Amino acid sequence: MQIAKKIAIALVALGTALASNSSSANDLVKVRFSWKLKGEYAFFYLGKDQGVYEKHGLDVQLGEGAGAQAALGSLVQGNEDVVIVPAIFAISAIQKGVPVKIAALYQPTTPFAFISHPDRPVATPKDMEGRSLAVSTGDTATAYLSIFCKKNEVDCSKINQVQLDPQVKIPQFLQNKIDMITVYTNVDLPLIEERSGIKFAVLDLPKFGLSVPGLAAVVSNDSVTKSSETLKRFFAATSDAIDLTREDPSKAAAALRRAWSAAPPEDLIKQSVIATSLTLQDGKEKPNGWIDGQVISDAQDLVLSTEAGASKKAVSEYYTNSLLEAER
């Protein structure tokens, strides 16, 4: 009996050691989002849930964020391997000399809009004159409001821009204390309409000329060469996860919801997942996340138009497609 017991203990220890070695064989990749969990991050969670990253020899850790600047700062300090942020913030940071590069651009155009109350709809840019608009730090749409006004022959001085904390702008809007707020149509709008029971008027900003690159993956300059093999596997796995999300948005929504404390109803998450998939590149001719240099060039011009003293850089300083070239 004693011999059998010892053998059993040894087998358990061996199994534990093997499991540990298998886990440690996977390369750790730390990923930080720029904000709290939302539907557009679902494909990362589906990738983890379905073992896609593990199949590529990766142990991916996903974490919520507290803003693009904080995420980029953590990346530069070496605390993260990849950060997921709106590309325009990365472009602005690189323009200022931050040593990072956009390694994948999933949303060539940000799906955002100004929404207004149905009884006082803002249906065209000209309708904004005489109305109030919530303005918050980090709000991409209002940061480039002057450009939007110029493109659409709107007198910006006639728009009452009200500075509000991001946490209070939606309550203020729902209480009819403000006429317009910025929303992401793939994430915020479905939640706001479901919770309020109101169908709001939507002024689609890209439709009226404000095209800003959106969801992107950013890495440090050093890692492009020093960690290229690991990062190529990460981006190949993420591309696979995007394809799986398109095929089964319900499964992606469920995977995200399991990781999301105080999550909204799963059907709303699914709605956001589907809406996000429609904003992503189709991944047919090029890998998911492939970056068009013209999109980056146009975005740099946008940044330069609002930042005094900024000088133009070579477009190649902002991005690389080299990490997307691994076989999938």
> How many residues are recorded in the chain?
328
Give the β-pairing of 215-220 and 100-105: antiparallel
> How much is the pLDDT for 101?
98
Helical ranges in the chain per DSSP H: 2-25, 42-49, 52-55, 68-76, 87-95, 140-143, 145-151, 169-174, 188-196, 221-226, 228-247, 249-259, 266-279, 293-304
Edge-to-edge order in the sheet of strand 100-105: 58-63, 27-33, 82-86, 215-220, 100-105
**CA separation for the pair 305, 318 (Å, rounded):** 17
How many other CB atoms sit within 10 Å of the CB of residue 307? 12
The pLDDT-based confidence of 112 (bands split at 50, 70, 90) is very high
Q: Which two tokens stand for residue 188?
A: 């915020």
The pLDDT-based confidence of 2 (bands split at 50, 70, 90) is low
What do you get for the CA distance between the two ends of the chain, in Å? Answer: 52
pLDDT at 55 over 50: yes
Tell if the pTM clears 0.75, that is, is over it. Answer: yes
pLDDT at 328 over 70: no
Give mean pLDDT, residues 184-201.
Answer: 95
pLDDT at 280 over 70: yes
> How much is the pLDDT for 3?
55
**CA separation for the pair 233, 16 (Å, rounded):** 27
The pLDDT-based confidence of 308 (bands split at 50, 70, 90) is confident
Give mean pLDDT, residues 256-272.
Answer: 94
pLDDT at 327 over 60: no
H or E element in which residue 67 lies:
none
> How much is the pLDDT for 22?
45
CA–CA distances in Å: residue 236 to residues 103, 132, 244: 12, 45, 13
**CA separation for the pair 5, 40 (Å, rounded):** 51
Half-sphere exposure for 217 (CA within 13 Å, toward CB): 30
pLDDT at 7 over 70: no
The 10s digit of each residue's pLDDT in 69-97 is: 999 999 999 999 999 999 999 999 999 99
pLDDT at 4 over 70: no
Question: What are the structural domains, with CATH classification, of the chain?
Answer: 26-109+213-324 (3.40.190.10), 112-208 (3.40.190.10)
Residue with tokens 């000209």: 126
Percent of the chain residues topping a pLDDT of 90: 83
pLDDT at 24 over 70: no
Backbone angles phi, psi at 322, to 5 degrees: -65, -25
The pLDDT-based confidence of 33 (bands split at 50, 70, 90) is very high
The pLDDT-based confidence of 19 (bands split at 50, 70, 90) is very low
Q: Which two tokens stand for residue 318?
A: 């902002």
> How much is the pLDDT for 215?
97
CB 245 within 8 A of CB 164: no
**CA separation for the pair 187, 38 (Å, rounded):** 7
**CA separation for the pair 58, 186 (Å, rounded):** 29
